[in-house]
Chain A
C-alpha cells in the first residue's frame, strides 16, 4: 500500500484564501482584553507596586498582582519555577509584574500605564560561565545548587585515555547565540471561566493536553475542568511548547468569570517575554588516528538557561546525546551544565539542544580535516555512523542510519563537484567558498517519557470521515499528512475527510506537537484506528450484503464492495444505519524505545536515550564581499534521509524552512543582548531572512523505509536546521580563511579575516 502525494495540502486553500481561523482570529462578542506590565529590568527587587490608579481607570475591570494568584503561582513543564506574576524579585526583563483586564485595548493600555512599579536594581548574571562563579549573584537565592540548574554526564569507553594516544587532537570552544522563533502569529488566546467552573480556552499552543496540567498546577484548578482548543498555529517552532499566555489568561478569566477575555502579545512583548533557543558555549576535543579515523572526543556543553528552567535540562540532555555528531567515535565523554542567568528564558526551539552540539562537532571535524590536510566531506564520509554502529552515547544505530548516503548525495551535486571552477569565476571584489556538514536529529521524547498519541476516527452519518487530530499543526502539515494516511489506508478520496483540530474535550489525548514526533506517533495511532474502522465497516456491510465472509469485502471510494458478487454498500448507508458510538474508532500508539539502554546518562530518567533518528547533509556556498564583508548565501542543498517520503513537497517544505532558520542563525539573527536586555527586540532590528536573503534552496530526499513508521516515514521537521550554521562557517573558511567559532558571522568578522595575512 502506498500513499499518494496529497497536494495541495488539506489546509492550503483555506489558508491561502484567508478563511482559516487562527487563535488570533477568534473574537467572541464583547470580549475583554487582558495584558501584562513587564518589569523591564534584568534583576531587581520590587520595592512597591501600586495599582490603585490603574484600577480607577474607566473600563479597567481588574488589576492583579502576585497576591491575587491562587495555587502555587508557578508555571513550568517539568520544573515549576516560573512565577505567573513575579513576587518580590524580578529575574529578567520579561517578568510580568501585574495583570490587567479591561473592556478595550485602549482602556487596557491606559490601565497598564497607570501602574506604578518601583524597582531597586540588583547585580545580575548575564552569561552562564559567570553564573557558575563562586561569588556570582544568585538568580534564585536560597536554592540548593545556586545558579547551577542541572549537570549531567554521558560516557562511553575512556575518552581522556584514548585522547592521550591519538595521533591528532583538535580542541576549541564554539558559541551559538540565543535565537527568537519569530513565528508570525505572536502568542495569543481567548479564555472564559464559565459559571459551571469550567475554564474554556482557545490558544495558539503546541501542547493543549499538557497545558491543562501546567495551568492547573499554577493556579490551583482541576485539570479535568479545563478545556483547551488549538486551531492551526501561525508558526510555533518550539516557542509555543509550554505556557505563554495560558496561565495569565486563565488567571484573568478566574478574576472576571463569565466573560471571554483575549490576550495577545505584541511582537515586542514576544521578544521580551517569549522563550528563546538557548545560547550555549561548547568546549570540544576531538582526536583521530593519522588516517583520519575518529578515536575519541570530550565535550563540555554549557547552556544559558535564563532565569527559569522551562525544558532546559531536557534540551541539554538531547544536545549531549547528539554531541558526537553522526559519527563513529569509540570513546566519548560528554558533560553538560545548565546555568541560571538574568537573560531571556531559554526553551524549546527546532533542534532542541542539537543545533548547539551539532555546530561544535561539525566545526571540530573541520579543524581535524584542516590539520590532516583532508577534504572535510571525505573525512565525514570516512567516519559516518552506519547501521549497527554504536552512536556517541553507545546506542546501536538503527537501519536507515544513512548519513553516508546523504553525504554522497550532496558530494555528487554540481555545487560540490564544480566548486573549484565556480570559486575561480568569482567576480571582482567577491570571494567564494563552499562548505559541507552532516547532521542528525532524534525523533520522539526518548525512553522514560512515553511518546504517545491516541487517535479518534469517526464515520459521519453522511458516509464521510472525521479525523480528530490531537496534535496541533503549527504549519508543518501533520494534519494534512493525517488525511493522506487515512485516505490511503481506507481507499477513500482525501476530500472525504474532515479534520477536527485539537480539543481536549473532543479528542483523545496525545503528546505535544514537537520533537519530530507528531506525524510518526499520531500517524501510527490513526492507522490503528483506520484498521479498526475498515474491519468494522466490512463487518457491518457484510450484514447488509448477507455475506458471511466479511474478510472478502473491500473498501472502495464511498462504499464497501464485495468483489465476488460485485455488489456494494454505500458508506452513507452505513453511516446512517450505525449508532454514534458505533461510528467511532479509537486507537493509540507509543513510540518504541531503545530496548537495552547504555549504562550512562542515568540522571536523565525522562527522555534518554533515543532510538530513531533522521539524518542529513548540507552543502552551502557563499560569496563574501571584499569591500563590505557582507556574506551572501548563494546555494544551499540539503540531502535528508527520513524514511518513506509520503509527500515530496511536504519534505521540501520542512527542509527548506529549517534551512532558512539555520541560515538566519548563521548570518543574520542577533538579539544584541547586553546585560540581560535585548537591544534588537523588534522585527526592524532583529533580522530574519527575507526573500532577498536566500537562494533557491534545494532538497534531496532519499527514499528509505522505517518499518515502525506510519507507511514507513520518520519525523524530519528539525534535522534540516542544523546544516547551514556549520556549512556556512566552513564555506567562509574556504572563501576568506575565516575560522568561525561563534554564530552569527558578522561582516566585521569577514573583513578582519580578509585583512589578516594568509597563513
Chain B
C-alpha cells in the first residue's frame, strides 16, 4: 500500500498520528494499525452497524469512512468506552442484562447506545429501538438489548434501577 498522507486525530482520548493511504477504510486503520478490534466488519456496505464508532460523539460506520476523514476528529471505539476491569455503564448493562450473545454486534450496539444517550438521556423502548435500527443482531431478537439501553440510561442518570 502506498503511504500517502499523515492523519492526525484523537483516538480513545489520546492524540495519534498515522501515515496511511488516504483511501484506506477507517475500519481497517483502527483494526490493523491500532489493534483495536472492537469495531467489526459484518457487511462492509453500511448495512449492519457492527463497525460503528463514535466520531465527534456521533455513531459512524467506520467501514464507510476513509482514513482521511478522521483528520482532526475525536474517535472513540468500544475499547475507549471502558475495559473489562472498568466497564462503561453501557457495557455493564449489556453484560448484566443478557444483551450479549455471540457478541459480534455488541461493540457497535454499545456505540449506538452511547450516541443515543448523549442526546436523549431518558429514552423509552420505542426511542431505543429507533436508535438501534441501524445495527443488526441475529442472536438476541433485541429484547435484552433494549432492556440494556434503558438500564444504562438509568445508571447514567445516576438513578437506581
Chain A interfacial positions (CB closer than 8 Å to B): 7-9, 11-22, 24-25, 27, 104, 106, 181-186, 232-237, 264, 266-267, 474-477, 649-650, 652-653, 656-657, 659-661, 682-684, 688-692, 694, 696-697
Contact = CB atoms under 8 A, between A and B. Distances in A.
B128 to A, nearest CB: 8
Interface string B41-79: 111110110100000000000000000000000000111
Given A185-B40, A691-B146, A13 B84 contact: yes
B142 A691 contact: yes
Interface stretch (B3-11, B89-97, B153-161): B89-97
A691 B132 contact: yes
Contacts of B141: 656-657, 659-660, 689, 694, 697
Contacts of A22: 37, 40, 104
Contacts of A11: 100, 103
B41 A24 contact: yes
B102 interface: yes
Contacts, number: 199
Contact of B78 (A17, A21, A186, A694): A17
Interface of B: 1, 31-32, 36-45, 47-48, 50, 77-79, 81-84, 87-88, 91-92, 94-107, 110, 125, 128-130, 132-146
Given A17-B79, A234-B102, A692-B130, 16 more contacts: A9-B100, A13-B91, A13-B92, A16-B107, A17-B38, A17-B83, A18-B38, A234-B103, A235-B104, A267-B42, A475-B101, A653-B98, A656-B140, A683-B43, A683-B45, A683-B47
B102 A682 contact: no
A140 B33 CA distance: 47
Nearest to B93: A16
Nearest to B32: A27
Contacts of A9: 95, 98, 100
| 9 shortest interchain CB distances as A-B pairs | A18-B38, A475-B102, A15-B103, A234-B104, A660-B141, A12-B95, A18-B78, A656-B141, A683-B47
A682 B40 CA distance: 17
Interface centre among A477, A657, A694 (most CB of B within 10 A): A657
Contacts of B144: 649, 652-653, 656
A27 B125 CA distance: 38
Contacts of B43: 267, 682-683
Contacts of A697: 141, 143
The main secondary structure of chain B at its interface with chain A is loop
Contacts of A476: 101
Contact of A16 (B31, B106, B146): B106
A22 B39 CA distance: 12
Interface centre among A13, A22, A27, A652 (most CB of B within 10 A): A13
Contacts of A14: 84
A184 B37 contact: no
Given A15-B106, A653-B140, A697-B143, A7 B98 contact: yes
Given A12-B95, A24-B41, A691-B129, A183 B102 contact: yes
A445 B40 CA distance: 33
A27 B28 CA distance: 12
A660 B105 CA distance: 16
Given A657-B141, A659-B141, A691-B146, A266 B102 contact: no
